[in-house]
Amino acid sequence: MKVIKVKNSDELGVSAAEFVSERLMSLEKPIIGLATGSTPEKLYANLIKKCQSKEISFKNVTTFNLDEYVGLAQDDPTSYHYYMDKNLFNGIDIKRENTHVLDGEAEDLQKECDHFERLIQETGKMDLQILGLGLNGHIGFNEPGTSFNSRTHIVELSETTIKANARFFPTIQDVPTKALTMGIGTIMEAKEILFLVQGEHKAEILQKVVHGKVTEGVPASILQRHPNITLITDIDI
């Protein structure tokens, strides 16, 4: 795992945006996996700036998002659809039909997962997957105990995740208990991974992820085995 050490979230946003921009410019039709949460917000803000100043373009880019809550409408401010529109898609020149976010309101959720997985396989492997880290070691919404071979699937969110994400909702009771997520097997097939981890509260879990045993109990520990991964972090590891 290559490591880029930064001082704070501002530097992380700048460094990550440089990294993503370089990949966008070197590929003809980039396929990018996107993450949500607080960590990539400054990355996306910087990408919008670079796109508006014509330094980069998303015209030939296809995106797949890692996950979405079950039961939230796309225009619900706490859904990941809304997050992506607000934090990235509305500010860049991407073609809407080339953006893919799981539909957490689908009538048949399993069918939605299978369709999303098929679409990824048909489009081609992710050239670059952007990843964050959950407090319990989750990636996407793959909670501890998820098989390393998993494909896009329905998940039951853990107490830790519900508590950690409650800050985005009016009350903790409003946090959905289920979600859809790209599987760990799918994530590991990305040609390259950009792993973003920011804040002292993630220091303990990041040590386990990077230096601990590779175990399904710590989903992100599998990243130790990815052949082309860069970690950008403000944590000493």
Phi and psi at 131, nearest 5°, equal: -135, 140
Q: Which residues pair with 232 in a beta bridge?
A: 4, 196
183 binding ligand GLP? (CB under 6 A): no
For residue 71, the minimal CB distance to ligand GLP (Å) is 15
Quickly list H helices, the chain. 9-26, 41-52, 80-87, 109-123, 159-165, 184-188, 203-211
66 binding ligand GLP? (CB under 6 A): yes
Comparison of 152 and 161: residue with beta carbon closer to ligand GLP: 161
Q: Which of 8, 38, 121, 149 lies at the binding interface for ligand GLP (CB under 6 A)?
A: 38
Parallel, antiparallel, or unpaired: how do β-strands 193-197 and 67-69 relate?
Answer: unpaired
- Return the active site residues: 67, 136, 138, 143
- Taking alpha carbons only, the member of 66, 103, 104 closest to residue 196 is 66
13 binding ligand GLP? (CB under 6 A): no
32 binding ligand GLP? (CB under 6 A): no
Q: Which of 30, 104, 137, 140 lies at the binding interface for ligand GLP (CB under 6 A)?
A: 140
| Binding footprint of ligand GLP on the chain (CB under 6 A) | 35-39, 66-67, 132-134, 140-141, 161, 165
